[in-house]
Amino acid sequence: SAVGRGPEVPFRSEAYRISAIARGKELRLTLSALDPASAFSQQLVFRFGMSGSFRLCPAAELPRHAHLRFLTRESPPRALCFVDARRFGAWRLGDAWQPGRGPCVVSEYQAFRENVLKNLDDKAFDKPICEALLNQKYFNGIGNYLRAEILYRLKVPPFEKARTVLEALKDQEQERQKKYPSLTLSKKVKLMQENSDLLELCHTVPMEVIRAEKQLFDPEHSSTFKKWLQCYLVPGMSSLRDCNGRTIWFQ
């Protein structure tokens, strides 16, 4: 669209496949021509801002703010639309993830955990834990509602210094390795579920959302998402603005 915050996509093909992979808060689409004689493909990396999403709808009934559209060859055609009412989201050409983002809390959990624990001297951890959790260099994929839910479940005060909270995990990690030096992967997963710490919840809480994605984020079932929330926007909970102007919800 004329007001979309992204470049024109230089890809033309009579028939092509769209595949996708996510990393943290970014999504990479690959457009691949189905013609065996054509090796042409195009990759785009999206960030969604606060309101971006994809919707599949009739091409004749495009939603408002559909800033990029991929049309099917059906009759009547449908359109896969990148919809973003607030226009904080955008896309860029190429396959590169945004520099400076750390390992994904969902798909690269072990690397994410190691990246945090080995860098606790970084000044990023001088900040309150609620602010540190939004730092995508270390917590790639964690956003505002997730940080509230994670801290609430562990009863961690949101304005506790991040290093204070996380250094305790480093000590626990060393103790666990001494106590269970040769655990199988399945036993490690079971132990993680029974004794979840903050970094583990940074993985498991988003996974809850992913597993129930259709129900939780279907606009027709918004009440399901509200019921899932335990802290964020929940009546009776407290809220304050952090130093970055973001609202943190807590008990």
Residues 135-151 pLDDT 10s: 999 999 999 999 999 99
Domain ranges in the chain with CATH number 3.20.190.10: 16-93
Residue 204 token pair: 């498991």
* 109-250 CATH, one of 1.10.8.50, 3.30.1950.10, 2.40.37.10, 2.60.120.260: 1.10.8.50
CA distance 147 to 154: 11
User: pTM for the whole thing?
Assistant: 0.85
pLDDT at 117 over 90: yes
How much is the average pLDDT of 100-120? 97
Tell me the backbone φ, ψ of residue 19, rounded to 5 degrees.
Answer: -120, 160
- Residue 220 confidence class, pLDDT cut points 50, 70, 90: low
Per-residue model confidence (pLDDT) at position 176: 67
Give Rg (Cα) of the chain.
21
Task: Give 152-187 pLDDT, tens digit per residue.
Answer: 999 999 999 999 999 999 877 766 666 666 766 666
Per-residue model confidence (pLDDT) at position 190: 56
CATH no. for 16-93: 3.20.190.10
CA distance 179 to 182: 9
